[in-house]
Chain A
Amino acid sequence: MTTTSGPLATRRLILQGAASVALLGLGNLPFAPAHAAANDKYPEEAFKQKNEADAIKALYGRNAEPSNKVKLDAPEIAENGGVVPVSVTTTLDKVSSISFFVTENPFALAASYKIAEGTIPGVANRLKMAKTTKLVAIVEADGKLYSATKEVKVTVGGCGG
């Protein structure tokens, strides 16, 4: 289990419409709606991979190129590593899937969303991160893969000036 999403949070997301494409899997984001882009099957193998490269390979079978059209929003320093708010929006056309990878987690693939044709390509989630990690978002658009990366620091806290 690499993501968490409480019922209240999920309801809030519905109200905001921020996670409109993720609604198939209310409260159980990593399991129910997570389809690999290329087919409709649950990507069991991809979720089992420990490192990011293997997970990307298992899910997509190819690599992504960094793109400033993928806007990944996450805090620089997490307020609570147990529920780190992350979101992706993009100006890319023909988006068919969006996925999150947390490099330092035991299993790198945290969530993968299939984006139905004609919906606004934006997803938001909360991810659990045990320690400081690289966060990678991949957007599949028009058959190509694009990525954005951000470091999220998870700290023991304290000692403010």
Chain B
Amino acid sequence: MAIRRRDFLKSAGLAAASLGLPRLARGTETAGIYDLERFGNARILHITDTHAQLNPVYFREPSVNIGIGEMAGRPPHLVGRAFLDRFGIRPDSADAYAFTCLEFDKSAGRFGKLGGFAHLKTLVDRLRGEVGEKRSLLVDGGDLWQGTGLANVMQGRDMVEVANLLGIEAMTGHWEFTYGEQVLRDNLERFKGEFLAQNVFLTEEAAFNDAPAFDKATGRVFKPSVIKEIGGHRIAIVGQAFPYVPIAHPKRFTPDWTFGIREEELQKHVDGLRGTDKVDAVILLSHNGMDVDLKLASRVTGIDVILGGHTHDAVPQPMPVKNAGGTTLVTNAGSNGKFLAVLDLAIDKGKVGDVRYHLLPVYSELLKPDPAMAELIGRLRAPHVTDWSEKIATPDRLLYRRGNFSGPVDELICTALRAELDAEIALSPGFRWGITALSGQPLTMEDLLAETAITYPETYVQEMTGAQIKDVLEDVCDNLFNADPYYQQGGDMVRTGGLSYTCTPTGAIGGRISELKLNSGKALSAGHRYKVAGWASVNGQQGAPVWDVVGKYLRSGRMFQERLGSGVTLRGVENNPGIAGQG
């Protein structure tokens, strides 16, 4: 693939913002994409949801990301053209490729892969070097340790080494918890930064049994925050782990811990940082998801900026949210290592005067990989590269995952599950991580693992009634489209194979799913029992890991046998700009 440097220089449409006021595309075409105007006295660099993607990846942003109620039509629920218009990004530019789904096939060839920790390291070092010693901080919003075959077999140890070399000083977590308490604690022993989570507490039983905790009095399992002196001012970083770990994942990984948003505990802690510790700025390093963060910002006072993740929304500008104490800025920094967020703060005693924010796409073709990080990545991968380099298929179309309802990756997984496990219906979780594979390029076992590598990959086949299947769909749909963000969990809709349905996202809980039909066209019957295959169950299962099942299917030379398409008909969201081509 030829590097088209001119394509990049022409685009340079990076959006910047000053306290939410759009300062859109920078005009200077000759300016280097990564030459940032110096501003303020403290620089915070933020990455999130990299999902352990050590090397650069293709990752197509969603064409369906619907917002309901107050979230309708506002970032992050804009896709495609509506997204470009909102943020002043030129169509056909490198940024249009990085931030949206538009013409992904074509642009992937022009602009190449994004991310990669060796490339990221070069960019981080440059941006930290520019501002000088003790004037910057690098934080990670979680989902750093999971997402690849390597991270799975090493249980995140690879990412701890990488994080130490990259210089991550504070992080919080989500998938990190799915390795279980012992592995988490062992990894954190090696991690040179701080693991922060104000919202993880011992259960009462665990507290009674004297389970380990950072603070026995409050029951907080982890340190809630850290105060760093940057640019001569004291900045507090508060960690907010994913609030629904024991619900979204098997409870067996975290039996002693209870999570939640914990708004009141957060407010009390922030008040303490302001009142007792007299910090100059408070940053929330959050894995809540953007809708939850936007609501939280309207209710909790004293936070200057929420650096957000979880929902994988690459939002070029911070969203200002008013609350009783002032304004809080809310960001979300994308996923899979595609972006590095740069927050420059002008801090005075006790207050943040102004900020500049840039969400920089990490264009791997414009950045020279850092040799030390490249060496480390090579060393970590070496024992496994050969095993996983086997070509198992050549896709005849673009394979991507992101989207509220489906994507070709999950259609393929569902097709494979149905075929290999001889089931009428397949269900596959609506994860938002997982790489994009180009049409006509070899797909390897390593690629397949990047779509499936979790600590509970076992497949299952079970009988479910039509009514039970509908209940599952309704339940997950409410986790996605509940009008109150605090009742959302993030993630996308469970994917279905062999089953089509109509979804009305604006409906009430239990009333969004209708017209369920089998592939034959026959309506799903509430009382009839169907054979259903799936994976990633929160209940313990015994079947072969999903990557083996899908790998076997692909090795047999089969790919898609059905028409392509999600099988989901949408109703009631006709003008929603969260659907590409609409709004």
Q: Which of A76, A153, A159 contacts B248 (CB 8 A)?
A: A159
The answer to whether B536 and A158 touch across the interface, beta carbons within 8 angstroms, is: yes
Nearest B-chain residue to A16, judged by Cβ: B204
Residues of A within 8 A of B334 (CB): none
Give the tally of cross-chain contacts (CB within 8 A).
99
Contact mask for chain B residues 295-333; partner A; CB cutoff 8 A; 1 contact, 0 none: 000000000000000111000000000000000000000
Q: Which stretch of A6-14, A23-31, A48-56, A114-122 is in the interface?
A: A6-14
Give Cα distance in the complex from A100 to B479, angstroms: 26
Q: What is the minimal beta-carbon distance from A117 to any residue of chain B, in angstroms?
A: 28
Q: Within A128-158, which residues are at the interface with B (CB < 8 Å)? A: 132, 151, 153, 155-158
What are 10 A-B contacts defined by CB distance under 8 Å?
A: A15-B208, A77-B489, A85-B204, A151-B487, A157-B538, A158-B476, A160-B174, A161-B289, A161-B489, A161-B491
Q: Which of B260, B261, B486, B491 contacts A160 (CB 8 A)?
A: B491
Give Cα distance in the complex from A11 to B487, angstroms: 31
The verdict on A157 contacting B311 (CB below 8 Å), with A75-B260, A79-B258 known, is no
Residues of B within 8 A of A160 (CB): 174, 242, 244-245, 247-249, 429, 431, 489-491
Instruction: Sort A-B residue pairs by CB-CB distance and give the 4 closest, nearest first.
Output: A160-B248, A161-B491, A159-B429, A161-B490
Give Cα distance in the complex from A13 to B476, angstroms: 34
Contact mask for chain B residues 415-456; partner A; CB cutoff 8 A; 1 contact, 0 none: 000000000000001111100000000000000000000000
Give Cα distance in the complex from A132 to B478, angstroms: 11
The answer to whether A76 and B472 touch across the interface, beta carbons within 8 angstroms, is: no
Q: Within B234-268, which residues are at the interface with A (CB < 8 Å)? A: 242, 244-249, 251, 258-261
The answer to whether A9 and B205 touch across the interface, beta carbons within 8 angstroms, is: yes
Nearest B-chain residue to A160, judged by Cβ: B248
Residues of A within 8 A of B472 (CB): 156
A interface vs B, CB < 8 Å?
6, 8-9, 11-13, 15, 75-80, 85, 132, 151, 153, 155-161
Q: What is the minimal beta-carbon distance from B179 to any residue of chain A, in angstroms?
A: 15
The answer to whether A8 and B491 touch across the interface, beta carbons within 8 angstroms, is: no
Contact mask for chain B residues 471-503; partner A; CB cutoff 8 A; 1 contact, 0 none: 110011011001010110111101000000000
The answer to whether A158 and B537 touch across the interface, beta carbons within 8 angstroms, is: yes
The answer to whether A9 and B247 touch across the interface, beta carbons within 8 angstroms, is: no
Residues of B within 8 A of A76 (CB): 260-261, 484, 486-487
The answer to whether B204 and A13 touch across the interface, beta carbons within 8 angstroms, is: yes
Nearest B-chain residue to A13, judged by Cβ: B204
Q: What is the minimal beta-carbon distance from B551 to any residue of chain A, in angstroms?
A: 22
Q: What is the minimal beta-carbon distance from B80 to any residue of chain A, in angstroms?
A: 21
Q: What is the minimal beta-carbon distance from B215 to any residue of chain A, in angstroms?
A: 15
Residues of B within 8 A of A77 (CB): 244, 247, 487, 489
In this assembly, does B509 line the interface, its C-beta being within 8 Å of a C-beta of chain A?
A: yes
Residues of A within 8 A of B475 (CB): 155-156
In this assembly, does B380 line the interface, its C-beta being within 8 Å of a C-beta of chain A?
A: no
Residues of B within 8 A of A8 (CB): 204-205, 208-209
Instruction: Give the most central of A76, A77, A78, A85: most B CB within 10 Å.
Output: A77
Give Cα distance in the complex from A8 to B202, angstroms: 14
- How big is the B interface, by class? 35 or more
Give Cα distance in the complex from A156 to B492, angstroms: 15
The answer to whether B478 and A153 touch across the interface, beta carbons within 8 angstroms, is: yes
The answer to whether A155 and B208 touch across the interface, beta carbons within 8 angstroms, is: no
In this assembly, does B270 line the interface, its C-beta being within 8 Å of a C-beta of chain A?
A: no
Give Cα distance in the complex from A19 to B479, angstroms: 32
Instruction: Give the most central of B247, B312, B489: most A CB within 10 Å.
Output: B247
In this assembly, does B207 line the interface, its C-beta being within 8 Å of a C-beta of chain A?
A: yes
Give Cα distance in the complex from A24 to B484, angstroms: 38
Residues of A within 8 A of B258 (CB): 79, 85
Residues of B within 8 A of A11 (CB): 208
Q: What is the minimal beta-carbon distance from A146 to any residue of chain B, in angstroms?
A: 20
Residues of A within 8 A of B248 (CB): 157-161
Nearest B-chain residue to A73, judged by Cβ: B264
Q: What is the minimal beta-carbon distance from A43 to any residue of chain B, in angstroms?
A: 28
Q: What is the minimal beta-carbon distance from A13 to any residue of chain B, in angstroms?
A: 7
Q: What is the minimal beta-carbon distance from B403 to any residue of chain A, in angstroms?
A: 13
The answer to whether B247 and A155 touch across the interface, beta carbons within 8 angstroms, is: yes
Residues of B within 8 A of A15 (CB): 208
Q: What is the minimal beta-carbon distance from B460 to any residue of chain A, in angstroms?
A: 12
The answer to whether B487 and A159 touch across the interface, beta carbons within 8 angstroms, is: no
The verdict on A161 contacting B311 (CB below 8 Å), with A77-B247, A79-B251 known, is yes
The answer to whether A159 and B244 touch across the interface, beta carbons within 8 angstroms, is: no
Give Cα distance in the complex from A75 to B264, angstroms: 12
